[in-house]
Structure 1
Amino acid sequence: MTDLPTFGAGIWHFATYKDRYATDGYGPPVGLLEQIDRAGAVGELSVVDLNWPFVGFDGTLDDVKAALASNDLKAIAVTPEIYTRDFVKGSFTNPDPAVRKKALALMHDATEVALELGCSYVKLWPGQDGWDYPFQVNYRDVWQLALDGLKELCSAHPEINYVIEYKPREPRVKIVFPSVARTLLGIERIGLPNLGILLDFGHSLYGQETPADAAQLAIDHGRLFAIDVNDNMRGWDDDMVVGSVHLVETFEFFHTLRRNNWDGVWQLDQFPFREDSVQAAKQAIRFLKAIHRALDVLDDDALARAQAAHDALAAQRLVQNALLTSMAGLESA
């Protein structure tokens, strides 16, 4: 078997969640250091993505470093919270120049934290950048504001990578970076080497993309810097445990990464509202190991012949053989 990939998770995987119904949360609050301890309890995570600022945490960055070290974890990324109440009309695209300045200051601060932690990238999820109604915005203006803000940020820190996590909607009805194609268009317009894409598998499903195709397009442009994996019912960004719904498409996604020798972290972005967060991460990694084994046993030559002939049934037989053989070994994994 080829070497296992590095596994990671967003630290929010181990938090407690709220929604518009359970406004008091689905459990007691979980502090940052306890979240890190829960990530460590999974046993097979190597890296975590941390939100910035550390909301509700009154310790120091050294305390965070110590907690990561004691759990044998490293920070792979910092995600600045540019999608909160302060930025309800956008971060990069906010109509108020003072708010845009505040958002960029937060991103600069997050970058300094990322550099201090030795992270690989800063993740940008501009969830409030977009619109909700026809005629609400001038589309040319908001697009240009997004590109100008990104260029300013990335130009100021050439020593670290930035990734855009695109998503079709939520919290805005329309987000300015909704798809792999539009995100690539913006990145190529900016033209800086340290700006790429974080492809969230669930966002791609939710956007009615084929995630493997989206990954291939990003790879072909040299811009697939990171991935997050999860699952959903395709009607919403449910952030379910990876592999729980779209097993074959998940396999195809990772096959595309393997075929292109993409060797980044296999990172979890799951929201186990009602499940034990440590067990949800363990189950996800258990499944991802089966996917990894299936990639090893898949007959790639036969698959290439089937794909060259556009023979769907032959391709499906090969995929099912590889998946079912590998999945059968899960209980002993």
Structure 2
Amino acid sequence: MSVKAALREQRIETPSWAYGNSGTRFKVFAQQGVPRTPFEKIDDAAEVHRCTGIAPTVALHIPWDKVEDYGELAGYARERGVELGTINANVFQDDDYRLGSVTHPDAAVRRKAIGHLLECVDIMDQTGSRDLKLWFADGLNYPGQDNLRARQDRLAEALRETYQRLGADQRMLLEYKLFEPAFYATDVPDWGTAYAHCLQLGDRAKVVIDTGHHAPGTNIEFIVSVLLRAGKLGAFDFNSRFYADDDLMAGAADPFQLFRIMHEIVLADALTPAAGIAFMLDQCHNIEPKIPAIIRSVLNVQEATAKALLVDAEALSAAQRDGDVLAANGALMDAYNTDVRPLLRELRAEQGLDPDPMAAYRRSGYAERIVQERVGGQAAGWGA
């Protein structure tokens, strides 16, 4: 498959929550024109897809995107030229979850949390979504606070009940995170823990790699390769970090890492939608305008992918067989150092898109229009 043909098939899912106000533990900086409803979030996601051509789905977060009629929301999305994608559960904001959700020592709290997970599957049935994504803030701050092994048993029980509720064409995606908000022990802290639970559940349970959820210096592309080999990589949450879970724009902090990750994807022929890996953004735009930040992130992933597709696979393989360290590394660096922007501009023009998505958005007047129209009501958002 040619580089352009592969890029034409690429799909990146944007997150509904990234269009609303967000912040750190210290402050939310409200912006003008942010959505007030899930319908307005879909409008913004449709604008990103109009400009980029490769972001045709938008993920929902429940209850942040709760509506009376999910069929109506799905229909509205289709009218705007996009589809509803992954359903994300939220079992980390209620006061009841102070000591955990599905691993909480109180059975009543666990039942409440599992009930929400099952509710999310009900929503998937209404939206036609394939994937349920689970991230748990559950964990401990102090040694002795709870029984570590018992919490794993509770987690396994909740995952099993939810997995059994899935339809034949639906999947469970289990995300992990090294720390925060739990600092002594997180119940799903790493890819190995997520993999072990998914392995017990079955073929439709997969691991999510959030690029900000690792210890400093972690070789994320190694994790990618291992999970690809095992058939257990289900999705990415793309973002950038300098220190911890910074949730900055994808490709902003370490574009070379993003290239290395996409190189493993290309090697495994796992780029196309048929391969079953969901390439999603999960970011927190605190100081930058929302829609342009998401467009920039989509373009950064696309550029890293284009560079990965340009790696001379035959030369790389030959150098590896010969033990030629410098030639092998050089094959990767030659592709990474290639300016793919002219190629991508040409591709967009061939697809009837503006060659410069960021400029297209600026010229569209969309940003000015939503500032004028979205006056009053409660702006969507989360944070401190």
Q: State whether structure 2 residue 101 is matched by structure 1 residue 91.
A: yes
DSSP 3-state at the match of 1:261: coil
DSSP 3-state at the match of 1:326: coil
Identity of aligned residues (%): 22
What is the CA distance between 1:110 and its match in structure 2?
0.5
For 1:35, the equivalent position in structure 2 comes to 41
DSSP 3-state at the match of 1:266: strand
Q: State whether structure 2 residue 187 is matched by structure 1 residue 176.
A: yes
For 1:279, the equivalent position in structure 2 comes to 292
* Compared CA separation, residues 216 and 37, structure 1 to 2 (3 A): same
What is the CA distance between 1:328 and its match in structure 2?
5.1
Conserved 8 A contact 2:234-2:278: no
Structure 2 gaps of 5+ residues are 346-354, 356-384
For 1:240, the equivalent position in structure 2 comes to 248
2:31 partner amino acid: G
Alignment of 1:1-333 (within 5 A): 1-4=4-7, 5-23=10-28, 25-27=29-31, 30-31=35-36, 32-42=38-48, 43=50, 44=53, 45-54=55-64, 59-85=68-94, 86-127=96-137, 129-159=138-168, 160-173=170-183, 174-188=185-199, 190-204=200-214, 206=215, 208-233=217-242, 235-262=243-270, 263=272, 264-308=277-321, 311-327=324-340, 329=342, 332=345, 333=355
Q: Which has the larger radius of gyration?
A: 2
- Please say which of residues 1-10 and 104-113 is displaced more in the overlay: 1-10
* Compared CA separation, residues 330 and 297, structure 1 to 2 (3 A): closer
* Compared CA separation, residues 141 and 96, structure 1 to 2 (3 A): same
Listed one character per residue, the Cα deviations across residues 48-67 of structure 1 (whole Å, up to 9, x for unaligned) are: 11011245x66532442233
DSSP 3-state at the match of 1:21: coil
DSSP 3-state at the match of 1:162: strand
* Compared CA separation, residues 326 and 120, structure 1 to 2 (3 A): farther
Distance 1:194 1:311 in 2: 40
Structure 1 gaps of 5+ residues are none
Distance 1:207 1:106 in 2: 33
What is the CA distance between 1:78 and its match in structure 2?
0.6
* Compared CA separation, residues 193 and 207, structure 1 to 2 (3 A): farther
What is the CA distance between 1:193 and its match in structure 2?
2.0
What is the CA distance between 1:99 and its match in structure 2?
0.6
Distance 1:312 1:247 in 2: 22
Distance 2:306 2:182 in 1: 39
* Compared CA separation, residues 219 and 296, structure 1 to 2 (3 A): closer
Name the structure, 1 or 2, with higher relative contact order (CA <8 Å, separation 6+).
2
Query: If the length of structure 2 is used for normalisation, what is the TM-score?
Result: 0.79
Conserved 8 A contact 2:174-2:198: no
Q: How many residues align?
A: 327
Distance 1:305 1:13 in 2: 43
